[in-house]
Amino acid sequence: MEIKNKKLFLGGVSAESLVKEFGSPLYVYEKETILKKAEELEKAITYPNKKMLYACKANTNASIMKILKEKGIGLDVVSVGELLLALKLGFKAEDILFTATMATDEELKKVIENKVLVNMDSLSEMERFGKLNKGGKCSVRINPEFGAGFHGHVVTGGPDSKFGIYHTDVEKIKKIAEKYDLNVVGVHMHVGSRYLNPDQFYKAMEILLNTAKQFDTLEFVDFGGGIGVVYSPDETMFELNAYGKKVNDIFSKFVKEYGKEVTLMFENGRWYVAESGFLLMTVNTLKETPKLKFAGVDSGMHHMARPALYGAYHEIINASNADGDKEKIVIAGNICESTDLFTRDMDGPVERELPKIKEGDILSLGCAGAYGYTMSSNYNIRERPAEVLVENGKASLIRKRETFDYLNENQII
């Protein structure tokens, strides 16, 4: 991302020309940023026997998944849909982990049939899996009591969380494993998403590793995803190399005590893709109340739900006038819901100081590469945008814009 002569450029291409060529609104991803993030994490995690997975729920665009595949990264999938796409793209079964929640027997059968490892999210799932796959392998997702994340909605550890099997239930896990002759080859945790302070994570790591010691057939320990990304100027991120070193120290000590080599795994999603993505949209309406000035755009919470859902902050740049005189303004989406604002917190609208906006200007919403398109919907019968990958001044279409006919072809009337 770069600003030249007051205009925003993505991967060397001007945002205005991208919208001219591919239409508005538009998701744009910079390939170079994805590669850079993958390399940074690869370098920081120094434990030699490691395997990195990408939690593709963050962004399941096939071209983006392929970029990460070429970097030797495997996948964490959470549904049969994600699994089938992964296999279609050539990810090997042994490089995929299936970590669904509330999986049905039908889903489990599909995963077993494709020889992909299932990560047990409950004792119920393990019992049902045992019946379907006697003598098979599995891993177990442990709830290590501690959670971490940017918002209560994305914390996935602790007694309030629906995820995993509580770490105090090891005896119950072992009983089911014995009953169906299951080989528990991995233990796993995912404590939450976008932690910007790793203290709770380290605590959870220790609990998971204590749990791990109670199994003698382990091939891997997976510490989940959740490594933070800075979205707003008020935030700071922990130092990744120091984190990698601490993880290495804790894990090396465990392996020594365990007495045999175990693979260290991570499955980050946001880390790889968030900063690469931008949602470009066009301002079509300026309007005011006695209190606020609004710039209305041709996109909304159906394309990027995070502000409406979590009050999440995303940087907004006026791509047509990136460093003009500033004014306070609220950016509003085109969905018929008052929550549909791109500048808001959990309590409602928050004015943003932005270079003066005119109707027809292109706005860019940053950090849109993770949990943007994947969480989009057709609410209000509106089409999802196209997606474009940019690199070295070249842009390629990686997903077509949806059409009205496509949205309605399955209705029976």
Does the protein bind ligand LLP through residue 58 (CB under 6 A)? yes
144 to 183: interface string for ligand LLP, x by CB under 6 A: ----------x-x---------------------------
Q: State the Cα–Cα distance between residues 83 and 78, nearest whole angstrom.
A: 8
367 catalytic residue (yes or no): no
The closest of 384, 339, 264, 322 to 16, measured between CA atoms, is 322
- Of 263, 300, 265, 269, the residue nearest 282 (C-alpha): 300
Q: State the minimum distance, in angstroms, from the CB of residue 95 to ligand LLP.
A: 15
Stretch that binds ligand LLP, among 11-19, 43-51, 261-269, 380-388 (CB under 6 A): 261-269
- How deeply is 90 buried, as exposed, middle or buried, from its count of CB atoms within 10 A (0-12, 13-18, 19+)? exposed
Task: Tell me which DSSP letter residue 309 carries.
Answer: H
Q: Is 79 in the site for ligand LLP (CB under 6 A)?
A: no
Segment interacting with ligand LLP (CB under 6 A) among 52-60, 62-70, 208-216, 354-362: 52-60
Q: Is 253 exposed, middle or buried (0-12, 13-18, 19+ CB in 10 A)?
A: exposed
Query: In this chain, which stretch among 35-43, 54-62, 329-337, 353-361 interacts with ligand LLP, using CB under 6 A?
Result: 54-62
Q: Which is nearer to ligand LLP, 269 or 333 (CB)?
A: 269
Cis? peptide before 25, omega within 30° of 0: yes
How does DSSP classify residue 195?
A: B
- Torsion sign, CA atoms 305, 306, 311, 314: negative
Q: Distance between CA atoms of 335 and 163, rounded to whole angstroms?
A: 32
Q: Does residue 121 belong to the site contacting ligand LLP (CB under 6 A)? A: no
User: 190 or 352, CB closer to ligand LLP?
Assistant: 190
Selected binder of ligand LLP within 24, 99, 299, 364 (CB under 6 A): 99
Q: Which of 11, 147, 158, 226 binds ligand LLP (CB under 6 A)?
A: 226
Query: Which amino acids are annotated catalytic?
Result: 336
Contacting positions for ligand LLP (CB under 6 A): 55, 57-58, 76, 99, 154, 156, 190, 193-194, 224-226, 267-271, 306, 370-371, 375
